[in-house]
Amino acid sequence: MNILHKRSSLTGVTPASGELTPGEIAINTADAKIFAKKADGTIVQLNPTYAAVSHTHSIADIESLVGDVWFSPLSATHRIFPAENATAFAASSLTANRIILNPFVAKTSFTAANIYLSVTTAVSGSTFALGVYGSGSNGWPTGTPLVNTGTLNGTAALEVSAPISLSIVRGQQYWLASMAGATAPTVRRYATGSAVSLGQTSAATAHAVSLLRTVTFGTWPNFTNAPVTAADLSTTVPAAVMLTT
């Protein structure tokens, strides 16, 4: 014996209250919707549908948002913010001839097409470079950068970007790196207290928020040959290096 519910094959048709008894269901096969009558006589849909909503944001829209800020990389206007706990941004000079790194865990897989950092104040003769390291089994950066830029100039206040091609895998940890030349630029950084903690410093007096190491500008450290030590842990807030698709 077949049990046939009340039904309609016409788009947009819903049952009227008088057509059903409480608890009885009706089906619209055209819209793939199921309806039922409640005890109070109202008709409800049992399998509601939800429309997808797309939002496009500029950096100015979101750079002061609180919390973990991530956007699906659908276009170049959707940025991936690596900060795990960023509550604010600030601007200050990088340290000359130093590399500074901070981690992020990718929350979606995407191909990064550009890496960039905002220069907030022009500094004559200033230079810097950007890169991305992978993580080893211990969670610290390993080897040489997966990608890195050539020399970038901090001589104008603007978002300085460089093309890259890097497949980012969801759930994996990466390290974003910035390196300053002999004359360091003034750039957008995470505000004090807003970057994720990496644990206590070597002196055990404060929480580290970055890895900081002295380098020769343009020479990227190999963290396999020279692994991270407690001396690399720093309270210096990292630059807000970002990736775009």
pLDDT digits (tens, 9 = 90+) for 158-205: 999 999 999 999 888 899 999 999 999 999 988 876 666 776 555 556
- 33 and 138 fall within a common domain: no
Residues 126-137 have pLDDT tens digits of 999 999 999 998
The pLDDT assigned to 46 comes to: 84
Kindly list the distances between the CA atom of residue 31 and the CA atoms of 12, 26, 44, 129, 176, in Å, as whole numbers in the listed order. Answer: 7, 12, 15, 55, 48
Q: What is the Cα–Cα distance from 43 to 15, expressed in whole angstroms?
A: 7
- 96 and 142 fall within a common domain: yes
- 125 and 150 fall within a common domain: yes
- Residue 64 scores a pLDDT above 80: no
- 80 and 28 fall within a common domain: no
Model-level pTM?
0.65
Task: Identify the domain containing residue 226 by its residue range.
Answer: 59-244
What phi and psi values does residue 105 have, to the nearest 5 degrees?
Answer: -105, 125
- 37 and 84 fall within a common domain: no
- Does residue 41 contact residue 23 with C-beta atoms inside 8 Å? no
- 19 and 100 fall within a common domain: no
- Does residue 26 contact residue 7 with C-beta atoms inside 8 Å? yes
The answer as to whether 8 is a domain residue is no
Non-local (6+) Cβ contacts of 136 within 8 A are: 142, 143, 223, 224
- Does residue 126 contact residue 178 with C-beta atoms inside 8 Å? no
Pick 172 or 67 by higher pLDDT: 172
The answer as to whether 7 is a domain residue is no
- 190 and 238 fall within a common domain: yes
Length of the chain (residues)? 245
The answer as to whether 187 is a domain residue is yes
The answer as to whether 73 is a domain residue is yes
Question: What is the tally of structural domains in the chain?
Answer: 2
CATH code assigned at 233: 2.60.120
The answer as to whether 213 is a domain residue is yes
Mean pLDDT of the chain: 81
Q: How confident is the model at residue 52 (pLDDT cuts 50, 70, 90)?
A: low
The first and second tokens of residue 201, run together, are 């410093």
Non-local (6+) Cβ contacts of 37 within 8 A are: 15, 17, 20, 21, 22, 23, 24, 43
